[in-house]
Amino acid sequence: MKKIVLKSPLDMHLHLRDNEMLEVVAPLSAKSFAGAIIMPNLVPPITSIKDLIEYKERITSAVGSEKFEPLMTLFFKSDYNYNFLKDAKRYIKAIKLYPSGITTNSEDGVSSMDMEDLGETFEAMSELEIPLCVHGESDGFVMDREAEFCLIYEKFASKFPKLKIIMEHITTKKSVELLKKYENLYATITLHHLYITLDDVAGGMLNPHLFCKPIAKRPEDKEALLEVALSGNEKVMFGSDSAPHPQYQKECCGCAGVFTAPIALQALVQLFEKYNSLENLEKFISINAQKIYAFKPIEKDIVLVKRNFLVPSSYGDVVPMFANEELEWDIEY
């Protein structure tokens, strides 16, 4: 039976939520990954060291004996000063900036992208070498939001050249092109944006379980994402943006988020094999992230075998991507 061993796979953009949902989804990521960048957009958001430490403790408790390192982040605030960030640095891997109201639990995000408002915090982060992760969308027409935000990425990257900026869950050809233009721009790419376009979400019967923000785009955008991910390009890394919501909220309220954590590695191996790029998979799911974030993860080998894997209809009350479908690879636990 064909096998592949992935060394210390990492998920560089993960939502674990809190309370009962945390107890359901955290062990699923911990089974497949050595670590993950944990998003801070709880209610209320994680903005203090105390709250961050307590949240990390709840995550560690939820994953139990699994070898898994939560890589913590703070929710960006423009009043973070140098002294606060210096103290916070040993507890965090990055700070996450959300435009206000643009996605789930982002109401306390930044309402102005004016450099004068953000400059002091950005300068401190640059000096302390704390990466900035950004949900890059404007409040314009939904299909144009990421492309419009590219102008802001360019302002950030040019005005703060020493600030390491991660464009989160990019979905457009235009964002891919920015990677070549600025040395300090990097990106995460999700599983679902490598597989789907807007047609899969709304081209036939509406599929609420594939609805996410940023929304899936056009075929040419997906092709650009595939090209840069499959090539092993050192400026991109895997970030699932796995975002669980209870089934009733997805199907009656249309909450944004695709739940991929427990099936991500299986589907990625299938995709990279399809395009004859398995030699670059470990770069995408581990090596590039280690270089970008300048850290060494815990050692953890995940073995995948070439055998059919029937994706469950749900994990708890959360419906995963590819529910009730068969993937070609399975994890050997």
- Say whether pTM exceeds 0.95: yes
Task: Please state the rounded mean pLDDT for residues 158-179.
Answer: 98
Amino acid at 203: G
The yes-or-no verdict on residue 105 having pLDDT over 80 is yes
User: How do residues 207-228 score in pLDDT, each as one tens digit?
Assistant: 999 999 999 999 999 999 999 9
Compute the distance between CA of residue 154 and CA of residue 113 in angstroms, rounded to an integer.
12
Of 18-22, 97-101, 227-231, minimum mean pLDDT range: 97-101
87 is catalytic: no
Residue 254: which pLDDT band, with cuts at 50, 70 and 90? confident
The per-residue pLDDT for range 25-75, each reduced to its tens digit, is 999 999 999 999 999 999 999 999 999 999 999 999 999 999 999 999 999
Q: 87: which 2 tokens?
A: 């103290």
Compute the distance between CA of residue 201 and CA of residue 313 in angstroms, rounded to an integer.
Answer: 18
Continuous segment of H or E residues that includes residue 133: strand 132-134
Q: What pLDDT was estimated at residue 106?
A: 87
User: Residue 50: is it exposed, middle or buried by C-beta count within 10 angstroms (0-12/13-18/19+)?
Assistant: exposed
Section 246-256 average pLDDT: 93
Q: Which is the catalytic residue, given 241, 301, 317, 330?
A: 241
Higher pLDDT, 105 or 285: 285
* Domains, the chain, ordered by start: 3-332 (3.20.20.140)
Query: How far apart are alpha carbons 164 and 142 in whole angstroms?
Result: 27
- Averaged confidence pLDDT in the chain: 96
pLDDT of residue 14: 98
pLDDT at 148 over 80: yes
What percent of the chain lies above the pLDDT cut of 90? 93
Where does the pLDDT of residue 114 fall: very low under 50, low under 70, confident under 90, or very high at 90 and above?
confident
Measured from the Cβ of residue 180, the count of other Cβ atoms closer than 10 Å reads: 11
- Which residues touch 106 (CB under 8 Å, ≥6 apart)? 41, 98, 99, 100, 135
Tell me what pLDDT residue 216 has. Answer: 98
pLDDT at residue 209, as a whole number: 97
Higher pLDDT: 104 or 200? It is 200
